[in-house]
């Protein structure tokens, strides 16, 4: 058994793409600046040199075209991975993903499948402003035929919501007060770094949340 390694999410995705493209010649990658540049977050670094431009395809700045090409390629037997530079741009590919990638298997009675992957970076907290800092994956949870994979709780709207839900489901009897969620404010993410920090949860917000929970315990007279 090998020792566990600590790597970044981008490095893990890069390794997975290398492995799958080695394993299956039908896997190809489509996206903006993914070939020579290696992608905005270096997820596709090294793929062009190893697999060539027929399988690592730099696309024009048209997310709708990228997703449409990916769905079409999947329908004829390829296994495309379409990379959106930023996940916010899913708003431009809803028809291709929800009404086509997610529905063709059902509408064809199982005669065709759509082995299509759409991925993008969620970038809150790095100064990318309101149109590049959203977490919209939960939109797709409600679309039959799609599978959403996310390093947080896509099905439950947010990581904070999922933590609270699991605590209430699995350890309700251990609670001494109602949970307090500490989340970003319900507003578009500003471009200004100080304003962005004001919107995103900070250490002081976590401390305030803990104090609020303790105050509830004291008011209700329940021993912690």
pLDDT tens profile 165-176: 888 899 988 888
According to the model, what pLDDT value does residue 123 have? 66
Residue 8 has pLDDT above 80, yes or no: yes
Within 10 angstroms of residue 13's Cβ, the number of other Cβ atoms is 20
According to the model, what pLDDT value does residue 216 have? 80
Start-end ranges of CATH 3.40.50.970 in the chain?
Answer: 1-151
Report CA dihedral (35, 138, 98, 88) to the nearest 10 degrees.
Answer: -40
pTM: 0.70
Residue 153 has pLDDT above 60, yes or no: no
Residue 224 has pLDDT above 50, yes or no: no
Q: Of all residues in the chain, what percent carry a pLDDT higher than 70?
A: 91
111: buried, middle or exposed (CB in 10 Å: 19+, 13-18, 0-12)? exposed
Between these two residues, 156 and 36, which has the higher pLDDT value?
A: 36
Please check whether residue 192 is in contact with residue 132, taking contact to mean a CB–CB distance below 8 angstroms.
no
Mean pLDDT for the chain?
87
According to the model, what pLDDT value does residue 176 have? 84
Q: What share of the chain is helix, strand, coil (3-state, %, to 5)?
A: 45, 10, 45
- Fold annotation for 152-224: Rossmann fold (3.40.50)
According to the model, what pLDDT value does residue 1 have? 62
Query: Mind listing the pLDDT tens digit for each residue in 105-148?
Result: 988 988 999 999 999 988 666 777 777 768 788 888 888 889 98
Q: DSSP assignment of 1-15, as one string?
A: -PPP----HHHHHHH
Band the pLDDT of 157: cuts 50, 70, 90: low
According to the model, what pLDDT value does residue 158 have? 66
Phi/psi of residue 77, nearest 5 degrees: 110, -5
What is the mean predicted confidence (pLDDT) over 6-26?
95
Cα–Cα distance list, 23 to 20, 143, 222 (Å)? 5, 30, 58
Start-end ranges of CATH 3.40.50.920 in the chain?
Answer: 152-224
Residue 191 has pLDDT above 80, yes or no: no
Helices (H), the chain: 9-23, 47-51, 63-75, 94, 104-107, 138-141, 159-170, 193-199, 203-220
CATH of region 1-151 = 3.40.50.970
């Amino acid at each position: 058994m090998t020792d566990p390694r600590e790597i970044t999410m981008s490095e893990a995705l890069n390794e997975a793409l290398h492995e799958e493209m080695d394993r299956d010649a039908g896997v190809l990658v489509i996206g903006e600046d993914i070939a020579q540049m290696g992608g905005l977050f270096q997820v596709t670094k090294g793929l062009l040199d190893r697999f060539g431009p027929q399988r690592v395809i730099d696309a024009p700045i048209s997310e709708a075209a990228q997703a449409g090409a990916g769905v079409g390629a999947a329908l004829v037997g390829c296994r495309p991975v379409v990379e959106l530079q930023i996940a916010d741009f899913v708003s431009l590919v809803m028809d291709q993903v929800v009404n086509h990638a997610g529905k063709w298997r059902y509408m064809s009675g199982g005669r065709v499948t759509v082995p299509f992957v759409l991925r993008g970076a969620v970038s809150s907290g790095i100064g990318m402003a309101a149109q590049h800092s959203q977490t919209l994956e939960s939109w797709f949870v409600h679309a039959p035929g799609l599978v959403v994979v996310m390093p947080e709780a896509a099905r439950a709207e947010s990581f904070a919501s999922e933590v609270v839900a699991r605590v209430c489901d699995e350890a309700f009897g251990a609670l001494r007060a109602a949970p307090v969620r500490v989340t970003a404010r319900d507003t578009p993410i500003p471009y200004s770094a100080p304003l962005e920090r004001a919107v995103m949860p900070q250490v002081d917000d976590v401390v305030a949340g803990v104090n609020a929970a303790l105050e509830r315990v004291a008011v209700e007279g329940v021993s912690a």
